[in-house]
A and B are shown apart, each in its own frame.
Chain A
């Protein structure tokens, strides 16, 4: 199970990669494993704005439909349209080609509320107990 060092995490199993004023967001390998084969990803439109922790879309697998919660407030600047035809990217490369949205970050101080890689790894270990 991978927990890339440079990412921030939520307890709802989303990750955030910060690059300048923008952030890329997806779900963790743990989440994609737990979901099983992803069959559909519902994403917002570019230009929509979300507050930290609010649902921005949903991910459907053969097991269930789950909401996606945004790790940080911001405006959507890009969505990964490849997921429409290839939702399996979420399973195959959750931290790479399976990314979901890119946002213009509203406030970087919100990052303080997120988990670091090692904190998230501990959280997952606790959950699996």
Chain B
């Protein structure tokens, strides 16, 4: 039975602008104890604006209620399972939040001289060391503020290295299953993108790779595990093919949650990797960001990383002193002001220290186990895209439900009625009607069982009562939105109704 949501007070909430009442304020100012002077007598009229911005006129309680109400409409990982595949929406431990708010971290100014920021620099140096150990790549820059910026930084490092070798190359090879950011980063970096078709197992076709890799290929960008959730078993051979032709291998670390503590990209032959700390290392994601996309590179590429780099020196008494080194002539330069998203970096280090090496490995194993648990229990109800090879995420399609007119979008929407955030839908593009599920290690078995129960119930509904699924969600404040109309005729912002004539 479908229960409509209650008609509780928070079921309808306009914009804060619509709450505005002329003259309403949330403060009291004491009356003037000096003579009032008209502003026109002090300033040239041309300097005075007559078009004051239409800010909402509201009281404090109006503001608090407005934002408290809309905050309850949000779905968050603190509220329930968020199985958005490819995004690694793992829980963000509160310990990270507490530590990042320590005064020494939160109140430090980035322009503090090195001598007064030794602890802050040590945190960065320690995180670099941890990430180098985890990735097997010795050179780490923490500056990039997001995954895509990490990609851009990594490609610029490769380009600089090639130029230094007198070997400018034109093309970057990217498999068709890649995240859209990969070709975008390569194009912005000035490279021509050549798409590689996946083989029937969703991996790289080695024979095809051998024919397209030549001395014009600067790099191959691949995600491992791929966006199909599968480990590229030929990764070492892939690296050998690129290296033999003088090219580099860039690995998108989006799916590192399947590898951390178990295996290392550097050991496979990868030259450059970016990490999404907001995925793999439990820092806030989505609207709660900001992100952080550190890039890790091989020894050959380390001189080209962004400056400044953090270096250790010994003072006369033999104690380590940290300092920022700007004297790096081969560096591509800065990619971001200061030291990256510092408080996010603190959170990531906190996560690494809280778990330790064994804990990180166990998190990875649990993430993979959870995804395979879901794959095992749902493949009788949904068409699985690639059987028996799931890593930390699993992809189904709507092939069986399509027969009843129920599609991936409908299944995702119906999941909301069961209290779950929808999975990633229609990605990766190479699987028609894809539903990509990534539970992460955060979920216990009971939550996974509830999710499986919901998915099985939806599969049954699709067969017996397809209209129920096609009209979902039923339990939310607003039902199915017309996404096509919203994209075709977007209303991007609220506009005031102009009534009063301006003076």
Residues of A within 8 A of B (CB): 34, 36-37, 39-40, 60, 62-66, 87-88
Residue of A nearest to B484 (CB): A37
Task: Jot down 26 A-B pairs with beta carbons below 8 A, ordered by A.
Answer: A34-B432, A36-B409, A36-B484, A37-B483, A37-B484, A37-B487, A39-B484, A39-B487, A39-B488, A40-B487, A40-B488, A60-B487, A62-B409, A62-B483, A62-B484, A62-B487, A63-B409, A63-B425, A63-B426, A64-B426, A64-B427, A64-B429, A65-B180, A66-B429, A87-B488, A88-B488
Task: List residues of chain B with CB within 8 A of the CB of A39.
Answer: 484, 487-488
Q: Measured between alpha carbons, how far is A63 from B180 in the docked complex, in Å?
A: 14
Task: List residues of chain B with CB within 8 A of the CB of A63.
Answer: 409, 425-426
Task: List residues of chain A with CB within 8 A of the CB of B409.
Answer: 36, 62-63
Residues of B within 8 A of A (CB): 180, 409, 425-427, 429, 432, 483-484, 487-488
Task: List residues of chain A with CB within 8 A of the CB of B427.
Answer: 64
Task: List residues of chain B with CB within 8 A of the CB of A65.
Answer: 180
**Residue from B409, B427, B432, B487 having most chain A Cβ neighbours under 10 A:** B487
Interface of B is mostly: mixed
B489 to chain A, nearest CB (A): 9
Task: List residues of chain B with CB within 8 A of the CB of A88.
Answer: 484, 488
Ranked 9 nearest A-B pairs via Cβ: A37-B484, A39-B487, A63-B426, A62-B483, A39-B488, A62-B484, A64-B429, A64-B426, A39-B484
Task: List residues of chain B with CB within 8 A of the CB of A37.
Answer: 483-484, 487
Task: List residues of chain B with CB within 8 A of the CB of A40.
Answer: 487-488
Residue of A nearest to B482 (CB): A37
Q: Measured between alpha carbons, how far is A63 from B429 in the docked complex, in Å?
A: 9
Q: Measured between alpha carbons, how far is A64 from B483 in the docked complex, in Å?
A: 13
Q: Measured between alpha carbons, how far is A87 from B485 in the docked complex, in Å?
A: 11
Task: List residues of chain B with CB within 8 A of the CB of A62.
Answer: 409, 483-484, 487
Residue of B nearest to A35 (CB): B426
Q: Measured between alpha carbons, how far is A14 from B429 in the docked complex, in Å?
A: 17
Given contact pairs A36-B484, A40-B487, A63-B425, a sample of 7 additional A-B residue pairs in the complex whose CB atoms are under 8 Å apart: A34-B432, A36-B409, A37-B483, A62-B409, A63-B426, A64-B429, A88-B488
Residue of A nearest to B180 (CB): A65
Task: List residues of chain B with CB within 8 A of the CB of A87.
Answer: 488
Residue of B nearest to A127 (CB): B432
Task: List residues of chain A with CB within 8 A of the CB of B487.
Answer: 37, 39-40, 60, 62
Q: Measured between alpha carbons, how far is A87 from B490 in the docked complex, in Å?
A: 14
Q: Measured between alpha carbons, how far is A39 from B483 in the docked complex, in Å?
A: 9
Q: Measured between alpha carbons, how far is A56 from B408 in the docked complex, in Å?
A: 29
Task: List residues of chain A with CB within 8 A of the CB of B180.
Answer: 65
Q: Measured between alpha carbons, how far is A40 from B409 in the docked complex, in Å?
A: 19
Task: List residues of chain B with CB within 8 A of the CB of A36.
Answer: 409, 484
Q: Measured between alpha carbons, how far is A66 from B487 in the docked complex, in Å?
A: 16
Task: List residues of chain A with CB within 8 A of the CB of B429.
Answer: 64, 66
Residue of A nearest to B426 (CB): A63
Task: List residues of chain B with CB within 8 A of the CB of A64.
Answer: 426-427, 429
Q: Measured between alpha carbons, how far is A88 from B485 in the docked complex, in Å?
A: 10
A30 to chain B, nearest CB (A): 11
A17 to chain B, nearest CB (A): 26
Q: Measured between alpha carbons, how far is A66 from B432 in the docked complex, in Å?
A: 13
**Residue from B180, B432, B484 having most chain A Cβ neighbours under 10 A:** B484
Task: List residues of chain A with CB within 8 A of the CB of B432.
Answer: 34
A54 to chain B, nearest CB (A): 11
Q: Measured between alpha carbons, how far is A40 from B483 in the docked complex, in Å?
A: 13
Q: Measured between alpha carbons, how far is A28 from B409 in the docked complex, in Å?
A: 22
Residue of B nearest to A91 (CB): B484
Task: List residues of chain A with CB within 8 A of the CB of B488.
Answer: 39-40, 87-88
Residue of A nearest to B427 (CB): A64
Residue of A nearest to B408 (CB): A63
Task: List residues of chain A with CB within 8 A of the CB of B426.
Answer: 63-64
A27 to chain B, nearest CB (A): 15
Task: List residues of chain B with CB within 8 A of the CB of A34.
Answer: 432
Residue of A nearest to B490 (CB): A39
**Residue from A40, A60, A62, A88 having most chain B Cβ neighbours under 10 A:** A62
Q: Measured between alpha carbons, how far is A124 from B347 in the docked complex, in Å?
A: 49
Residue of B nearest to A66 (CB): B429
B421 to chain A, nearest CB (A): 18
Residue of A nearest to B193 (CB): A55
B168 to chain A, nearest CB (A): 23
B128 to chain A, nearest CB (A): 36
Residue of B nearest to A60 (CB): B487
Q: Measured between alpha carbons, how far is A63 from B484 in the docked complex, in Å?
A: 10
**Residue from A39, A62, A63 having most chain B Cβ neighbours under 10 A:** A63
